Amino acid sequence: MSAKYGYYPGCSLERNAIAYHQSAVAVAPVLDIEFVELDDWNCCGATEYIAIDVLPAYALVARNLAIASRQKLSGGNQNQVVAPCSACFLNLSKVDKYMSDAPRLAANVNTALAAGGLSYKPGSVRVRHLLDIVVNDVGYDAIAAKVQKPLYGLRIAPYYGCLIVRPGFQGAFDDPEYPMSLDRLMGTLGTTVVDFPVKAHCCGGHMTQISEQVALELIRQLLQNAAEYEADAIVTLCPMCQLNLDGYQEAVNRHYGTKYHIPILYFTQLMGLAFGLPAATLGFGKEFVDAAAALNKIGVQPPPKPKKERAGKEALPMPEMAAGGLSHES
Amino acid sequence: MSPERIGVYVCHCGSNIAATVDVEEVALWASEELGDRGVVVARDYQFMCSSLGQELIEADIKEQGLTRVVVAACSPHLHERTFRTACKRAGLNPFLCELVSIREQVSWVHTDRAAATEKAMAVVSGGVERVTLHQPLEPLHVPIHPATLIVGGGIAGIQAALEIADSGYPVYLVEREPSIGGHMAQFDKTFPTLDCSACILTPKMVDVGGHPNVTLLTWSEVERVDGYVGSFTVTVRKKARYVDESVCTGCGICTEKCPVRVLDNTYEAGLGYRKAVYRPFAQAVPKYPVIDRENCTYFQRGKCKACQLFCPTHPKAIDFEQKDEILQFQVGNIILATGYDLFDCRRIPQYGYARLANVFTSLEFERLCNAAGPTGGKIVLRDGVTEPATVGIIHCVGSRDHNYNPYCSNICCMQSLKFGHLVKERTGAEVFNFYIDIRTAFKDYDEFYQRVLEDGVHFVRGRVAEVTDAARLPGEEGKLIIQVEDTLLGKQRRIPVDMVVLSAALQPRQDSTEVAYTFGIACSANGWFIEKHPKLDPVATMTEGIFIAGACQGPKDIPASVAQGAAAAARVLGRIHQKELALEPVRASIIAERCSGCRICNNLCPFNAISYDTARMITEINPALCQGCGTCVAACPSGAITGTQFSNEQVLAQLYGLLLLNVSSGPVQQPQPALVPA
Amino acid sequence: MVAQRSAAGPAPGAFMDEVIAATPGGASHLELCVQCGTCGGSCPSGPDMEHTPRHLFAMIRAGMKEEVLRSNTPWYCVSCYYCMVRCPQEIHITDIMYTLKRMAIKEGLYRESSAADAPDFSETFIDFVNNYGRSFELGLATRYHLRHHPLTAVRKAGMGLGMVRKGRMDLTPKRINGIEQLQAILAKARELGAEDGAISQGGRQ
The single-letter DSSP state of residue C53 is: H
Q: What stretch of H or E contains B327?
A: strand B325-331
What was the pLDDT predicted at A87? Answer: 95
Nearest chain B residue to C46 by CA: give it: B492
Please state the rounded mean pLDDT for residues B125-152: 94
* Mean of pLDDT values over B634-645: 90
* DSSP tag of A119: -
Q: Is B574 part of a structural domain of the chain?
A: no
Q: What is the mean pLDDT of residues B140-164?
A: 96
On whether both B226 and B275 belong to a single domain, the answer is yes
Task: Give residue A324's pLDDT.
Answer: 47
**Domain C14-115 is in which class?**
mainly alpha
- Residue A46 is assigned to a structural domain of this protein: yes
Task: Assess whether pLDDT exceeds 60 at residue A326.
Answer: no
Q: Domain of A60: which CATH number?
A: 1.20.1050.140
Structure confidence by residue, pLDDT tens digits, C153-170: 666 677 777 888 888 888
With contacts defined as CB-CB under 8 Å, which chain A residues touch C25?
94, 97-98, 101-102, 105
Band of pLDDT at residue B598, cut at 50, 70 and 90: very high
pLDDT digits (tens, 9 = 90+) for B416-450: 999 999 999 999 999 999 999 999 999 999 999 99
What mean pLDDT is predicted for residues A46-50? 90
pLDDT over 90 (residue B77)? no
Per-residue pLDDT averaged across B228-245, rounded? Answer: 95
Q: How far is CA A303 from CA A147, A150, A300, B411, in A?
A: 17, 11, 9, 50
What confidence score (pLDDT) does residue A312 get? 82
Q: Residue C151: its pLDDT value, please?
A: 65
Q: What is the maximum alpha-carbon separation in chain B? A: 96
Q: Is the dihedral of CA B567, B568, B574, B577 positive or negative?
A: negative
Q: B671 pLDDT band (50/70/90 cuts)?
A: very low
Closest residue in B to C91 (Cα–Cα): B402
Average pLDDT value for residue range A187-196: 96
Across chain A, what does the average pLDDT equal?
92
Average pLDDT over residues B163-171: 98
Distance CA A268, CA C95 (A): 31
Could you tell me the CA-to-CA distances from A202 to A177, A209, C81, C97, C137 in Å, in that order? 12, 15, 9, 17, 21
Nearest CB partner across the interface for B465, out of C35, C42, C55: C42
What does the alpha-carbon distance between residue A276 and residue A265 come to, in Å, rounded to a whole number?
Answer: 17
Range scoring the smallest mean pLDDT among A44-53, A71-80, B522-531, C124-133: A71-80
Report which of A150, A138, A161 is spatially closest to residue A234, judged by C-alpha positions: A161
Helix or strand (DSSP H, E) at A127: strand A125-129
Lowest mean pLDDT among A320-324, B18-22, B93-97: A320-324
Surface-to-core class of residue B394, CB atoms within 10 Å of its CB (0-12 exposed, 13-18 middle, 19+ buried):
buried
A317 contacts C199 by C-beta, under 8 angstroms:
no
Per-residue pLDDT tens digits for A4-24: 899 999 999 988 999 999 999
Query: Residues of B numbered 379-408 whose beta carbons fall under 8 angstroms of chain A's beta carbons: which are they?
Result: 380, 382-385
Same domain, B200 and B323: yes
**Per-residue model confidence (pLDDT) at position A310:** 72
Domain span at A92? 3-130
Q: By the 8 A CB rule, do B142 and B229 touch?
A: yes
User: Chain C contact for A97, CB < 8 A?
Assistant: yes
Assign B582 a pLDDT band (cuts: 50, 70, 90). confident
Range of the domain at B174: 148-340
pLDDT-derived band at A2 (thresholds 50, 70, 90) equals confident
A111/A180 same-domain check: no
- From B232, B229, B328, select the one nearest B571 (Cα to Cα): B229
* Arithmetic mean of pLDDT, B368-392: 96
A 138-157 near C (Cβ less than 8 A): none
- Over range C116-141, report the average pLDDT: 85
* pLDDT given at position C129: 93
Q: Is residue B346 over pLDDT 90?
A: yes
B592-601, C7-16, C63-72: least confidently modelled range: C7-16
User: Are residue B298 and residue B180 in the same domain, yes or no?
Assistant: yes
* Boundaries of every domain in chain C: 14-115, 118-193
Domain count, chain B: 4
Tens digit of pLDDT for each residue in B535-568?
Answer: 999 999 999 999 999 999 999 999 999 999 999 9
List all residues 6 or more positions away from C123 whose beta carbon is below 8 Å from its beta carbon.
Answer: A52
Answer whether A177 sits within 8 Å of B349, measured CB to CB: yes
Quick one: pLDDT at residue A74?
59
Q: How far is C25 from chain A (nearest CA, A)?
A: 4
- Closest-CA residue of C relative to A53 is C102
Comparing B460 with B659, the larger pLDDT belongs to: B460
B313-318: average pLDDT? 94
**Residue B288 confidence (pLDDT) above 60:** yes
Contacts of C54 in chain B (CB under 8 A): 485, 487, 490
What is the model's pLDDT at position A47? Answer: 87
Does residue B512 fall inside a structural domain? no
Report pLDDT digits (tens) over B609-631: 899 999 999 999 988 788 888 89
Q: Which residues of B touch C40 (CB under 8 A)?
A: 462, 465, 485, 487, 490, 492
Beta-bridge partners for A194: A329
Give yes or no: residues A164 and A265 share one domain.
yes
Residue B440 near residue B448, CB atoms below 8 Å: yes
Neighbours of chain C (3+ CB pairs under 8 A): A, B
Check pLDDT > 50 for residue B241.
Answer: yes
Distance of CA A188 to the CA centre of its chain: 17
Main-chain phi, psi angles of B342, to 5 degrees: -85, 140
Cα–Cα distance for residue pair C192/C165, rounded to 1 Å: 44
Is B517 part of any domain? no
Residues B11 and B121 in one domain: yes
Residues A75 and A151 in one domain: no
Supply the DSSP string of B135-153, one letter for each residue: -----EEEE--S-EEEE--
Nearest alpha carbon to residue B427 among B501, B353, B345, B363: B501
Q: How far apart are CA B588 and CA B646, in angstroms?
A: 8
Residue B487 CA: distances (Å) to CA of A160, B220, B401, B476, C48: 29, 49, 18, 22, 15
Query: Which residues on adjacent β-strands are paired with residue B69?
Result: B7, B97
Q: Rounded to whole angstroms, how far apart are CA atoms B370 and B199?
A: 12
Q: Are residues A178 and A285 in the same domain?
A: yes
B471 Cβ contact partners less than 8 Å away, ≥ 6 residues apart: A224, A225, A228, B477, B478, B479, B481
Percent of chain C with pLDDT over 70: 86
**Nearest one of B240, B234, B200, B233 to B218, comparing CA atoms:** B240
* A124, A156: one domain: no
Q: What per-residue confidence (pLDDT) applies to B250? A: 94
Nearest Cα to A224, choosing from A213, A239, A234? Answer: A234
pLDDT of amino acid C159: 77
Residues A162, A119, single domain; the answer is no
Q: Could you please report the per-residue DSSP string of B60-106? A: HHHHH--SEEEEEES-HHHHHHHHHHHHHHTTS-GGGEEEEESIIII
Sign of the CA dihedral running A98, A102, A108, A111: positive
Domain match, B71 and B119 both: yes
Whether pLDDT at C205 is above 50 = no
- Mean pLDDT along residues B51-69: 96
Using the 3D structure, point to which of B507, B524, B547 is the last residue of a domain. B507
pLDDT, residue C12, reads 75
Average pLDDT over all residues of chain C: 85
Cα–Cα distance for residue pair B543/B522, rounded to 1 Å? 9
Average pLDDT, whole number, for chain B?
Answer: 94
pLDDT of amino acid A182: 98
Are residues B308 and B179 part of one domain? yes
Which chain B residues are within 8 Å of A322, Cβ to Cβ?
A: 346, 354
Q: How many of the other CB atoms lie within 10 Å of CB of B598?
A: 14
What's the number of domains chain A is made of? 2
Q: Are residues A80 and A124 in the same domain?
A: yes
pLDDT of residue C2: 47
pLDDT at C154: 64
Assign residue A215 the CATH number of its domain: 3.40.50.11810
A225 vs B: CB within 8 A: yes
The whole-angstrom separation of Cα B513 and Cα B510 is: 8
Residue B669 banded pLDDT, cuts 50, 70, 90: very low
In this structure, the answer to whether residues A155 and A90 fall within a common structural domain is no
- Partners of B458 in the beta sheet? B432
CA angle B241, B245, B247 (to 5 degrees): 130
Q: What's the confidence (pLDDT) of residue C142?
A: 73
Q: Is the pLDDT of residue B238 over 60?
A: yes
B462 touches chain C (CB under 8 A): yes
| Min Cα separation B437/chain C (Å) | 9
C89 CB within 8 Å of a chain B CB: yes
The answer on A188 and A116 residing in a single domain is: no
The complex scores an ipTM of 0.92
Q: Is residue B575 part of a domain?
A: no
CA distance C60 to C15: 6
Q: Which of B507, B523, B543 is the endpoint of a domain?
A: B507
C69, C82, C86, C126: best mutation site toward chain A, by most A Cβ within 10 Å?
A: C126
Q: Does the pLDDT at position B117 exceed 50? A: yes
Pairing of strands B325-331, B231-238: antiparallel
Q: Which of B2-11, B307-316, B567-576, C115-124 has the lowest mean pLDDT?
A: C115-124
Q: Which of C82, C83, C81 lies closest to C56, judged by CA?
A: C83
Instruction: Give yes or no: residues A87 and A156 share one domain.
Output: no
What does the alpha-carbon distance between residue B416 and residue B247 come to, in Å, rounded to a whole number? Answer: 44
**Eight-class DSSP state of C3:** P
Provide, rounded to the nearest whole percent, the portion of chain B with pLDDT above 90: 89
Cα–Cα nearest to A327, from A174, A192, A221 = A192
Chain B CA closest to residue C89: B402
Long-range residue pairs from C177-180, CB within 8 A, at least 24 positions apart, any chain: C177/A40, C178/A40, C178/A42, C178/A116, C178/C133, C179/C131, C179/C132, C179/C133
B571: in domain: no
